[in-house]
Amino acid sequence: MSEDKRRRYSGPVVDGLGKSASRAMLRAVGFTDEDFKRPQVGIASTWSNLTPCNMHIDGLAREAASGADEAGGKSLIFNTITVSDGIANGTEGMKYSLVSREVIADSIETVAGCEGFDGLVAIGGCDKNMPGCIMGLARLNRPSVFVYGGTIQPGENHTDIISVFEAVGAYAKGDMDLIQVKQIEETAIPGPGSCGGMYTANTMASAIEAMGMSLPGSSAQNAVSETKEADCRAAGAAVLNLLDRDIKPRDIMTRKAFENAITVVIALGGSTNAVLHLLAMASTAEVDLEIDDFVRIGKRVPVLADLRPSGHYMMSELVAIGGIQPLMKMLLDAGMLHGDCLTVTGQTLAQNLADVAPYPDGQAIVHALDNPIKKDSHLRILRGNLAPTGAVAKITGKEGTHFSGRARVFHSEEEAQARIMDGTVVAGDVLVIRYEGPKGGPGMREMLTPTSAIMGKGLGSDVALITDGRFSGGSHGFVVGHITPEAQEGGPIALVEDGDTITIDAEANTIELAISDDEMEARRARWQAPAPRYPRGVLAKYARTVNSASKGAVTDAF
């Protein structure tokens, strides 16, 4: 490819006498005459000092910039936002979390589109950063690589952020005192990196690597490590190779690539948020992906990784035995992955995996295919008269596969949390938390605080929780989220009353409210939609434009 074609976006910004003012501005930020002849590579950093997940990404962005410069490009670092789910969970602020995914995508598209970057590296470190980055790259469709910021180290006594949430429930039950809770609070988060289990951050990083949008190994590296710094430098250089070969995100993000991502998420026992985010990423890349694809793929793919929250091990321990590459090689050899998919290396997935060694003998983290933790997917897409257009559950089998109980209805997460903590919620209850969907919340908050309180109080196998909101990757127990249509739109979840019987069957993949069709229609006739909670601002804009959770809760689908 000619030099001009590598600069198809930056050339019109800086070439010729008429762009003298543009060059003058760029000279002030360090450009030389030679730099104007180089392809410009934008480095989208999600650095922020407000969360450990992203506090180190400024340094990683500089490494990526160095890699791009050394390979013949000219890097420019810019920032987008991040928010912290771990800090905001259980508060009104959490409504901004999923919204931030759209803001991140918007901002990356805006900056790169305005400034004329020829290629990009995007570095994310927390739940919404990653799909937001990928959505921005897919919209622009310029040669790009995604880099994961890396996982945190375990806290004292093998603790992490979920240990802190569950300690609060344990205190309410009387199993811990305040000194013990404070000890966990002070030691569970020892430094930089994303939450340490197979929660949403590590799930999405793994999915993106499996899709081919990260360099091999990027999803399973410690946040503070020479390996992660090298990954960033290599990503910067890789963009120049992609520019040479004119390989763009939509060449990589095909339907087969999304199927590979789903397969790896299932094998790892990943977060329910993967359903939401993969649907959104596919929508943005104009790939036809539906929630039923998770059902189809889930019938043939087992859960193999014994990782938190349902399992025992942390991501740092998976890193120590080789990350997800040996798992992917195992799945490829078994015919469960599409090996012909193109990746950001410029090679196919099969070529990338050709020389990957198996896991070391004796490791217990990733099971063999003939000895799975669960023979099919833990991600269950449920339907029934309570969720006509679908709901998402994470059922590993440890919770059982069937639950029937009496509804205890709440109109917000805070109401439910208060009743869990004061002992109102008892065994046999199905907690119904509604008006927390994409439009109703708005923002589809994660129910990590109440699910952690349930586990901490020892009710994990005795209480179910259903919601039109969603769950943190750290949630576990008998939980069903993403119920659609949501309550704000008059979905059946809006019509449930205290004492109704709700039955969840994770083998038949059904969720049913035990009332007659006539009673359902009578309740529907009485129902009135609540007024929007936010009349102005970003939450109001989001509520007006967002689509259903069963379609990814995206705002740019028309």
Contacts 24+ apart (CB under 8 A), 530-534: 530/435, 530/440, 530/488, 532/442, 533/440, 533/441, 533/442, 534/442
Residue 511 DSSP SS3: strand
The residues pairing with 222 across neighbouring beta strands, listed in sequence order, are: 151
Is residue 341 annotated as involved in ligand binding? no
Whether residue 92 is annotated as binding a ligand: the answer is no
Measured between its terminal Cα atoms, the distance across the chain in Å is 35
What is the DSSP code string of 191-231? SSSB-SSSSHHHHHHHHHHHHTSS-TTTTSSBSSSHHHHHH
What phi and psi, each to the nearest 5 degrees, are found at residue 172?
-60, -35
Q: Which tokens hold the place of 332? A: 């490829």
Closest CA to 4 of 113, 112, 118, 138: 118
Q: How many C-alpha atoms does 541 have within 13 Å on its Cβ side?
A: 9
* Nearest C-alpha neighbor of 182 from the set 158, 199, 163: 163
114 among annotated binding-site residues: no
- Tokens encoding 193: 């990196």
Q: Which amino acid is at 133?
A: C
Place of tokens 């501005």: 25
Catalytic-residue membership of 377 = no
Residues 6+ apart with CB under 8 A from 135: 101, 102, 104, 105, 280, 281, 284, 554
The residue from 472, 475, 548, 550 that is catalytic is 472
Secondary structure of 41-53 in HEC code, one letter for each residue: EEEEECCCCCCCC
Q: In sequence order, what DSSP letters do the residues of 222-280 get, joined into one string?
A: BSSSHHHHHHHHHHHHHHHHHHHHT--HHHHS-HHHHHHHHHHHHHHT--THHHHHHHH
State the sign of the Cα–Cα–Cα–Cα dihedral 50, 56, 61, 62: positive
Is 85 known as a binding-site position?
yes
In 10 A of CB 528, how many CB atoms?
7
Residue 53 is assigned to a ligand binding site: yes
Coil, helix or strand at residue 188: coil
- 241-266: b (≥16 Cβ within 10 Å) or e: bbbbeebbbbbbbbebbbbbbbbbbb
| Binding-site residues from annotation | 53, 85, 127-128, 446
| Binding-site residues from annotation for [2Fe-2S] cluster | 53
Q: Which residues participate in catalysis according to the annotation?
A: 472
| Binding-site residues from annotation for Mg(2+) | 85, 127-128, 446
